Structure 1
Amino acid sequence: MARADADTPMMQQYHRLKAEAGDALLFYRMGDFFELFFEDARIAAACLDIALTKRGDEVPMCGVPVHAAESYLARLIRAGHRVAIAEQTESPAEARRLRGSKALVERAIVRLVTPGTLTEETLLESGATNWLAAIGCAGEEWAIAACDISTGRFELIACARTEIAAELARLGPAEVIGAQPLDGITGRWGHDGFDSLHGERLLKRRFGLADLDGLGGPGRAELAAAGGLLDYLAATQREATAFLALPRRIQRSAHMAIDAATRASLEICRTQDGAVAGSLLGEVDRCVTAAGRRLLGQDLAAPLTDRAAIEQRLDLVAWFTEEPIRRERVRGTLRSLPDLGRALGRLVAGRGSPRDLAALRDGLGGAADLAASLAGQALRPALLDALLPDLGGHDALVDELGRALVASPPLDAAKGGFIAEGHDPELDRLRSASSDGRRAIAELEGRYREATGVAALKIRHNAVLGYHVEVPAKHADKLLAPDSGFTHRQTMAGAVRFNSPALHEEASRVLEAGGHALSLEQAHLARLTDAAVARAGPIATTADALARIDVAAGLAERAIEGGWVRPALDETPCLEIEGGRHPVVERALGQAGERFVANDCCLGTADRLWLITGPNMGGKSTFLRQVALIALLAQAGSFVPAARARVGLVDRLFSRVGASDNLARGRSTFMVEMVETAAILAQATPRSLVILDEIGRGTSTYDGLAIAWAVVEAMHDEAKSRTLFATHYHELTRLAGRLPCLSLHNVRAREWKGDLVLLHEVAEGAADRSYGIAVARLAGLPPTVVARAKSVLAKLEAGRDATGGIAAGLDDLPLFAAAAEAPPATDPLADALAAIDPDALTPREALDALYRLKRLSDEQAG
C-alpha cells in the first residue's frame, strides 16, 4: 500500500472499523458499493468469484453492489464466514455541512452477520429452523440456551455434560458459541457474558420481569447460557433488537433421547449427504407452509415421551383423516398464508419492509377466517380447541394495516408507494401536487419541442442532474444560443443536456412534494411497525398455532396417501408391528416399479432381544431401521407405515447401523463402531430401543465374534432394552439356548437354479447359511474368484466340522453377568520390551535397556 494512501482519513477509519470487526470480513460502505480490502478482499474474491483489484499501489480490494449485497452475503455465510456491515451513518451533504467541504462521511458497524443471527428471507432456508446455541455451565451443571431470531423461538435446556452433543444434534444449530472449548463440539469459543447472575439480570431486563419464577425457575447453568446468548445477540445486532419470545424450559425427559450417531444412521431430518430429500423428514413432509415444515422437523428431531401429549397430536391427525374435503379446505387456506413468524422477526429486528406488514395483515386475517371455519366443525379434538383461541385477537391490527397499506406493497420502502390512497389526506395532497408537477413537466416538454423545433427533445431525470432537457448532439446548437433560455449542463457522446428556469421551478415543486410525501410514508411505516411489534408475542403464538395445524393436516395427508395407521401407545416396554414398512425405501421401490415387502416385529418382556441372521442385501438393515422409524414417528405424533402398531414408549433410541472412518479425529471404522457401542451399553435402559447391525465385523474373526458375543449378553442381562441385533456370526445363535429373552430370526433367501433369490422376509429361526458367495456372484465378482472362494469355503467348513468350529468351547462360557474373570498374568519382560521406543534412545540409553532386559530374562529363567 502506498504510504500516502495508508495515511488518508478514509483508510484510518477503515482500519479502526476492521479492528472492531475482528475476524469477520468487513463490508465497508462507499456510495453504492460495499468494499473489502487487504486479506478480506482476497478471501471474498475467491469465495464469490469476483474480480480482485488494487487501491493505490499495494492494497487488494474488491466490492459488491449494495442492492445485491444479500446474495453475496448468503454465499459468504454458507462458506462459513462472518461479515461485519459498516454503513454510512450520515450523508455526504450532512458531513460537509457539519465538518466542512472535505469532511469524511462517518461510518459505523451496524451489524455482525453470522450463521446463527440471520433474519433475511434470502439468507435463510425457509423450511428449516435457524438455531443459535450457547453452551453455559455453573459448577458441575451444564445447559444450552438456543434461539432462532428469525421467528423468536427461545429455549433453555438443562443437561449433563455428556448430553450436550446429543442436544446439539437435535437442534442442528447454524452456530454454537461458548465461553470455553469443548471436546468434540465445533463452535466459537471465548465469548463473554456466560455468568448466571449476569444472565438473570439480562433476562429480567429483556422481558420486564421482577423475578424468573414465571419461567419455571431456571437453574444457574441455564442462566449462564442465557447470559452468553443475550450478550452475543447484543454484540452482533448492535442497535437492532433481535426478536425473542419468552424462553421455554425444555425438560430432557420430555422427549426421546437420540444421539448424533443415531440421527445420522436413521437419516431423520437430513441424509448423510446433508440433503432433506431422501431423509425421513423429506418423505413424511406434506406441509403447505414453511412454518409447518420447520415444526415438523422439530417434532421428528424430538419425539415426545408424554403419552397424553402424543395422543393429543394423534387425535388431531385422526380428525383430519376422517373428512378429506375438510382437510383439503384447511390446507388450501394455509397454503395461501404468508410466513408470519419470519415476517415478524424482520420487523422486530428493524429489517422489515412494507411487504412484511402486508404479510401480517394477510396472515392474521387468514388465521381469523380459519378459526371461524374450524369453530363451526363438530367433534373437534382437544388440541384443536386449545389452538383456536390463539388464531384470533388481532382484529384491530388487521383493520389498521388493511386501511393503511396498498394491496401489494413493494419490498423496498425507499421509493414509497405503499400507503393506500385515502388513508392520509395530507399524503394524498402531496402526491397530487407531485403528480400535477410531473404533468406540468410533460406539458413543458411539448412546449420546448415546438419552440426549438427539435422533435427528439426529451425531459429526463437522474440522480446526479435531477430533471434536465436532453437533445441529440446534432441539435445542440439551437439550445446553446445565448438567447435560447437554456443553460448547458453536460455534454455526452451523442447527446447534450440543459436546464431552464421554468424546468427548475417545476422540478423543485415536484421534488419538494415528493420528498414530503416520502417522509410522511416513512412515518406511517414506523408507526405501523411499532403497532405490529407491540403485539409480537400474540402474533408469534398465532404463527405457532397455524404451524401445528399444518403439521397435523400434512401428516393426515401422508397417512391417507400411504395407507398408514394410528399407533396404539403403551406404557409397558413392548413393540408390536404388523406389516411394517420403511417409508423412504418403500417410496424409492415404488418409483422403480417394485413392491416393498412388509414385515412384522414383536418385542416384549419375554422376547425383547431378536438375533437376526441372513445374507447381505437381504434387508436386515432396512428392517432394523424401519422398526426404529416407526417408533420415532409414533412418538412424534404421526401415523405409521404399518398394518397395525402398538408402541411402548421409548425413552432413548440407539442405532448402530453402518459406520465409516472418522479420519479427522483419527478413528477407524472399527473404533467408531466401538465408541458408539460403548455409548449404547452405558446409556440404554429397559425402556430404550436399540438396533445393532454387524457388531464386531471391523476386526479379526475371533475378536469380532468375542465382542459381539459379549455385547449380546450385556444387552440381554444388563441393559434389558428392546433390541434388534443383526449379525453374520452364526455362532451367536448358540446363545438362544442360554438367554431366555433372546429369539432367533432371519431374513429369508433361496437359491434357485444356481441363482440367489432374496425374499426380504423376516422369519423365525436362524438362517441356514450366510449366502456370502452367492451375494458376491450377484455383485459381479469374476467367476474364477467365485469358484476359488467356494473351494476355500469347503475346506474351512470341513475343518470347522472336525474341530468344533470357531465357537468350540463357547458353550462352557458363563453368561456375561457372571464372567468375572481374573486379570491376565503380567509378563515383566514383555512389558519392558513393549515400553521401549528404539528411535528415541541414545546409544547409552539403548545399552542400559539391553542390560535391564537381560536381567529380567535371567530372573524369569531362575
Structure 2
Amino acid sequence: MYFDQVDQYAHLVNLKKAKRNTAMGDVAMAGFQHSSLERYLKMFVQDLGKQVAISEQIRLPESEREGRAGAPMYDRKVTRVITAGTLIDENFMDPYENNFLLAVHIEGVSPTQSLIEANGEAHQSFKRSAKVGLSWVDLSSGDFFTQASDWASLASLVARVGPREIVLDRSLEDVGQMQLSKLLGEGAFSIHFHQTTSDGSTVSAWTSMLEQPVAQAEEDAFMPVEIAAGTLVLDYVRDKLIGQQIQLQPPVRRSDDESMSIDRQSLRGLEIRSTLRDGTFQGSLLHAVRQTVTKSGARMLSQRLVSPSMSISVINNRLDLVQEMLHHEALREDTIALLRRTADTLRLLQRFSIGKGDADDLLSLGRTIDVMGHLSKVLHDHIVVRQGCEDASIELGFMWDVLRRLDLLGPSKVATSIREAIDEDGLDRQHVAELEEQVRAEEMAEEVVTADEAGQKGPKLGRRASKTKVPSNDTAPDEIWTMRRHASATLERSHRELETLLGLKGQLAKRLRKELGAESLTLKWSAQLGHFCHVKGKDAQGNLSVLPGARSIGSTKSTRTFYLADWTHLGVRIDDSKLRIRAEEERVFGRLRNQVIENLMKLRRNAAVLDELDVACSSATVAKQRRLVRPILTEATSHQIIGGRHPTVDASLEGSGRIFTANDCAVGEQEKIYLITGPNMAGKSTYLRQNALITILAQTGCFVPADYAEMGLVDKVFSRVGSADNLFQDQSTFMVEMLETAEILKQATPRSFVIMDEVGRGTTPEDGVAVGYACLHHLHHVNKSRTLFATHFHALADMTQDFDALGCYCTDVAEEGDGKWAYVHRLRRGVNRKSHALKVARLAGLPEMAVEVAGEVLADLQRKDN
C-alpha cells in the first residue's frame, strides 16, 4: 500500500508503516510477504469488506516489444479484483457455508426516487407494482440461481440466501445506508454498486459463462427482472475476474411457491443457522441436526433448512432415503465411510472451470470418482438384496433414481487417466521442496524487514547468494517430476533421452577426473555462473592446461571453478531435455484438465448425488441418536404432533442427563389458535419454537423429535419472539415488535404457521391488551392461520371466549405445603392467571428485601382488583 491508503488501513490490519525517500519526496508505504497474502486478504475482504486488486508481473509478447530498443520484457497488470462475494478458492472461506454474491434489481426505481417512506413502507410511486429480481452465484461451487419476487419479501429472501456481498444497480448509489438497511435487512454482507456494460435483455447473453446453454423453453420462462438481476451479477463477476474464464452451472429458477417462506425475523428468532444471543453456530438448529461428513453436504443441509420444500413428493423422496439409511445400518455405515474419502467436489471442479486446478486437485478428483464407483456398487448391491427379500414390500424407486443419476461412464475414464498419469511420490517430493523454499524465503524476508526497521541496509542478494548453497539440478534425484514417464509416448522418449545425457555426463566427469587427476571434480550449474566444473582440496592446485579449452573463473585456497566447453555443450543439451519434459508434463496436465472440463456437467451432477446421500445419512444418524420419527405430510391445514420436543433443548438436556417434557400440538383442525398462558420460565416460548422447528424439519425432509407427527404443508412460518431495539434506525423495542407483527398480519395465509410471544409488552398494560386482542382478532377472522399465541395478559382469554376456533392452554407451577415448588411444563387445557414472577425473581438472585417489597405491592394490587 502507498500514500493515503497506508494511513487509512495499515493500523487496521497491524501493518507497520514505513517511508522511502524518492525524487518526488517521502512516500508512505506498508506491505507484507507474499506468503501472508491469504491472511491479509481475509482481513481486507472479509473483515473490512474492501475490494483488493491483485497485480501480477506479466511477460510482454514479442509483438509489443518488437522495434522498441530497451523495451521492458515484463509489465504489471491487474489480473483480478477480489471481493467478499467473488472468492473462489481462498483458504479462509467457510467450507461449510456457501459464499454467495447476490444481485438485486428493483423494477421501476430511478435514481431520484426515495425508496422507502419514513414508516418503512415502499415509496408510494411504485410500492404496489414494483417487482424485484434476485440472482445469486457461488463462484467457489458454480451454483447459480434466480428468483422474481415482490418488495415485501425482499429482506426475507436476502436473509434466506445469506450473501457475503450484494450488488445493486449504480442508480441506487446515492440512496443512503439507512434506506438500504430497511430495504435489504441487516446482515454480514458488504454492498457495492455496478453499472452493467453488457446486453441485459436475454438469457442467451449468459451462455459464455455457463457450462451449457439454457434451453429455449426454459429461457422463455425467465421474467425481465430475473434477467436484469442475472445480467447484473454476471457482469459484476466478469468485471472482477478480468478476462478469466468461468463456467457456472445453468441457472436454477426459484419461485415463491416451491419452498416454505421463512422471514428474516423467524430465521433469527428460531435460531436456525445461528443463536439469537451471540450469533454462534453451536446451539442452533443446524448444529443440532448436522452430522454430515462432507463440506458440500453440510452446505446442502444448510440451504435446505432455510428453504424447506412445498412439494410432498420431493419431501417424501428425501424421507424415503433417510428411512432406508436409518433401517439399514450397514448401508449407512458403508456410505458414510466412502463419503469421508471424497473431496469438496463442487469447489474442486470450479477451480478447473477457471483454469486454476493443479495436480493435487486432479488426484483428489480421481479418488472421489473412484468413491463414486464404489458407492454405485454398494447401492446396487443393496437394492438387489432388498428386492430379493420376501418382506420387501417397500417400493425402491427412489433408490434406483439415486443410482441412475450417478453417471460414471465418462468420469471413470477421467479417473483412470489421472491415475495412470500423475506420479504421487513425485508430487509429495515437490511439496517438501516447495515448503523448504518457502521457509528460506520467509527467513530472508524477515532479515530484510529487521534491517530496515533498524535503519540498516538489508543483506545484499548477490552476497547472500554466494554464501548460500545453490541446489544442483543436474542429477536425476534433484529433479522432481509430477507425471509418470509413461503418461505419454513423448514423455517416455524424453526421459530416455535425459537418461542417456545424464549417462554422458557421468562419463565426462569420470574422464575429466582421470585427465586432471582430481577425484573431487564435479560438474555443476548455478543461476549466476551457468555450467561450470568445480574442484576442491588439494585438487584445486592442479594444472588446468591438461584440459584443452578450460578457463578458470574463480579460485580460493581450497576450491577452484572453471569453464569447459564439453560440459557447457552437454549441460545445455541436458537443460533442453528437461525443458522438453516440463513442457510435455504441462501438455499432459492440460489434456487431463480438458478431460475434466468435458465431463464437468456429469461430475457436478454426481457431486450433488453424493451430497444428497450425505444429508440422508446425517439425518438418519441424528434420528437414531435422538429417537426421531418420520413425519407425515398432507394437504390439510392442521397439525397433529404427539410427544413433540424442541430439537436443540432436548439434545442439550439429554447431554446433561435430564429429560425434556414432551408436549402435544393439534392446532388447526378444530382450533386454529392456541392461546397459551402460564408462569414465567415454564416453557411457553420453548413450546412455541419447538412446533415451528418441527414443521421446518419435516418439510426439509428430516425426521422430527416427536412420538408421532402429521401435518399439512405450511407455506410460511412467522415468528414474533425476542425483539430488541434498533437504535441505528431510531426504532424502540416496541416499534420493532410492531413492525414484525404488521408483517405477519399482512402476509400470513390460511396455510401459514404463526408463533407470537408476548405481543403488546413494552407499553402500558391497557395498550398491550388492546394490541394483543387486535392481533388475535385479525389472525382468527382474517388470516385464519395455525397460530400459537403466548401471553401474560390473562384478560385476553376472557375477551376471546366467542372465538370459535381458539382454544386456551397453559403451563403451571406445582406448589407443596412446605413452600417448595416446581414448574409443570406439560401443556394442559385452561387458563393460568398466575405468572409467579416473584419466584423467578428470587431464582434470579434479586435481594430478598426487594422480593419481599414486591410481594407486598403485589398483594396490595390484588386486594384493590378484588
Give TM-score, length-normalised by structure 1. 0.81
- Tell which deviates more after alignment, 625-634 or 127-136: 127-136
- Correspondence for 1:601: 665
Equivalent residues of 1:609, 1:723 under 8 A apart: yes
1:52–1:444 distance in 2 versus 1, CA, 3 Å: farther
- Correspondence for 1:202: 205
- Whole-angstrom CA distance in 2 between matches of 1:610 and 1:359: 54
Establish whether residue 397 from structure 1 lines up as the match of residue 375 from structure 2. no
Equivalent residues of 1:127, 1:291 under 8 A apart: yes
Establish whether residue 59 from structure 1 lines up as the match of residue 27 from structure 2. yes
- Tell which deviates more after alignment, 438-447 or 124-133: 438-447
Task: Select which of 339, 342, 363 maps to 2:368.
Answer: 363
- Correspondence for 2:753: 689
SS at structure 1 position matched to 2:104: strand
Equivalent residues of 2:38, 2:90 under 8 A apart: no
Task: Select which of 171, 174, 191 maps to 1:188.
Answer: 191
- Whole-angstrom CA distance in 1 between matches of 2:560 and 2:221: 72
1:96-245 aligned at under 5 Å gives the runs: 99-101=68-70, 103=72, 105-139=74-108, 140-179=130-169, 180-181=171-172, 182=180, 183-185=182-184, 188-193=191-196, 197-204=200-207, 206=209, 209=213, 212-215=216-219, 217-245=221-249
SS at structure 2 position matched to 1:122: coil
How far did 1:482 drift? 10
Equivalent residues of 1:199, 1:226 under 8 A apart: no
* Aligned partner letter, 2:195: D
Task: Select which of 282, 287, 302 maps to 1:282.
Answer: 287
Establish whether residue 84 from structure 1 lines up as the match of residue 53 from structure 2. yes
- Tell which deviates more after alignment, 287-296 or 422-431: 422-431
Establish whether residue 668 from structure 1 lines up as the match of residue 633 from structure 2. no
Task: Select which of 310, 318, 324 maps to 2:315.
Answer: 310
- Tell which deviates more after alignment, 275-284 or 339-348: 275-284
Equivalent residues of 1:197, 1:223 under 8 A apart: yes
Equivalent residues of 1:355, 1:408 under 8 A apart: no
Equivalent residues of 1:199, 1:225 under 8 A apart: no
* Aligned partner letter, 1:384: M
1:423–1:723 distance in 2 versus 1, CA, 3 Å: same
- Whole-angstrom CA distance in 2 between matches of 1:763 and 1:476: 102
- Correspondence for 2:268: 264
How far did 1:297 drift? 0.7
Equivalent residues of 1:416, 1:521 under 8 A apart: no
- Tell which deviates more after alignment, 408-417 or 74-83: 408-417
1:469–1:177 distance in 2 versus 1, CA, 3 Å: farther
Deviations 1:464-494 (A, max 9, x none): 556777899x999859999996755799xx9
- Whole-angstrom CA distance in 2 between matches of 1:599 and 1:302: 26
Deviations 1:49-100 (A, max 9, x none): 2332233342222333334423432332221121111111117999988855
Deviations 1:752-776 (A, max 9, x none): 4334422332222122410101100
1:712–1:531 distance in 2 versus 1, CA, 3 Å: same
- Correspondence for 2:326: 321
- Tell which deviates more after alignment, 340-349 or 172-181: 172-181
Deviations 1:182-206 (A, max 9, x none): 5432653541229874443413555
- Correspondence for 1:652: 716
Establish whether residue 384 from structure 1 lines up as the match of residue 388 from structure 2. no
Equivalent residues of 2:84, 2:190 under 8 A apart: no
* Aligned partner letter, 1:202: A
1:460-859 aligned at under 5 Å gives the runs: 487-488=552-553, 498=561, 500-501=563-564, 504-505=568-569, 507-752=571-816, 753-801=818-866
SS at structure 2 position matched to 1:184: helix
- Whole-angstrom CA distance in 2 between matches of 1:655 and 1:166: 12
SS at structure 1 position matched to 2:660: coil
- Correspondence for 2:438: none
How far did 1:607 drift? 1.1
* Aligned partner letter, 1:264: R
How far did 1:512 drift? 2.3
Equivalent residues of 2:721, 2:756 under 8 A apart: yes
Equivalent residues of 2:52, 2:83 under 8 A apart: yes
SS at structure 1 position matched to 2:257: helix
* Aligned partner letter, 1:363: T
SS at structure 1 position matched to 2:96: coil
- Tell which deviates more after alignment, 585-594 or 545-554: 585-594
- Whole-angstrom CA distance in 1 between matches of 2:227 and 2:574: 57
- Whole-angstrom CA distance in 2 between matches of 1:521 and 1:41: 43
1:142–1:184 distance in 2 versus 1, CA, 3 Å: closer
Equivalent residues of 2:534, 2:560 under 8 A apart: yes
SS at structure 2 position matched to 1:740: coil
- Whole-angstrom CA distance in 2 between matches of 1:331 and 1:552: 10
1:259–1:495 distance in 2 versus 1, CA, 3 Å: farther
Give TM-score, length-normalised by structure 2. 0.81
- Tell which deviates more after alignment, 440-449 or 704-713: 440-449
SS at structure 1 position matched to 2:147: strand
Equivalent residues of 2:540, 2:559 under 8 A apart: no
* Aligned partner letter, 2:205: L
- Whole-angstrom CA distance in 2 between matches of 1:497 and 1:162: 83
- Whole-angstrom CA distance in 1 between matches of 2:730 and 2:426: 56
1:434–1:257 distance in 2 versus 1, CA, 3 Å: same
How far did 1:277 drift? 2.3
- Correspondence for 1:73: 41
Equivalent residues of 2:519, 2:539 under 8 A apart: no
- Tell which deviates more after alignment, 625-634 or 745-754: 745-754
SS at structure 1 position matched to 2:59: coil
- Whole-angstrom CA distance in 2 between matches of 1:495 and 1:99: 47
How far did 1:271 drift? 2.5
1:7-18 aligned at under 5 Å gives the runs: none
1:612–1:410 distance in 2 versus 1, CA, 3 Å: farther
How far did 1:239 drift? 1.8
* Aligned partner letter, 1:583: P
Equivalent residues of 1:756, 1:774 under 8 A apart: no
- Tell which deviates more after alignment, 533-542 or 184-193: 184-193
* Aligned partner letter, 1:184: L
Identity %: 32
- Correspondence for 1:852: none
Q: Which runs of 5+ in 2 are unaligned?
A: 109-129, 173-179, 388-394, 435-478
Equivalent residues of 1:755, 1:774 under 8 A apart: no
1:463–1:344 distance in 2 versus 1, CA, 3 Å: farther
Equivalent residues of 1:403, 1:423 under 8 A apart: yes
How far did 1:227 drift? 1.1
SS at structure 2 position matched to 1:89: strand
Task: Select which of 330, 336, 341 maps to 2:341.
Answer: 336
- Whole-angstrom CA distance in 2 between matches of 1:625 and 1:546: 32
- Tell which deviates more after alignment, 768-777 or 440-449: 440-449
Q: Which has the higher contact order (CA 8 A, sep 6+)?
A: 2
How far did 1:344 drift? 0.7
Provide the aligned length of Structure 1 versus Structure 2: 763
Equivalent residues of 1:143, 1:222 under 8 A apart: yes
SS at structure 1 position matched to 2:194: coil
Deviations 1:116-164 (A, max 9, x none): 1111151422121111111124443321111112222111111112212
* Aligned partner letter, 2:846: L
How far did 1:633 drift? 0.2
SS at structure 1 position matched to 2:611: helix
SS at structure 2 position matched to 1:588: helix
- Whole-angstrom CA distance in 1 between matches of 2:354 and 2:313: 37
How far did 1:308 drift? 1.4
How far did 1:661 drift? 1.8
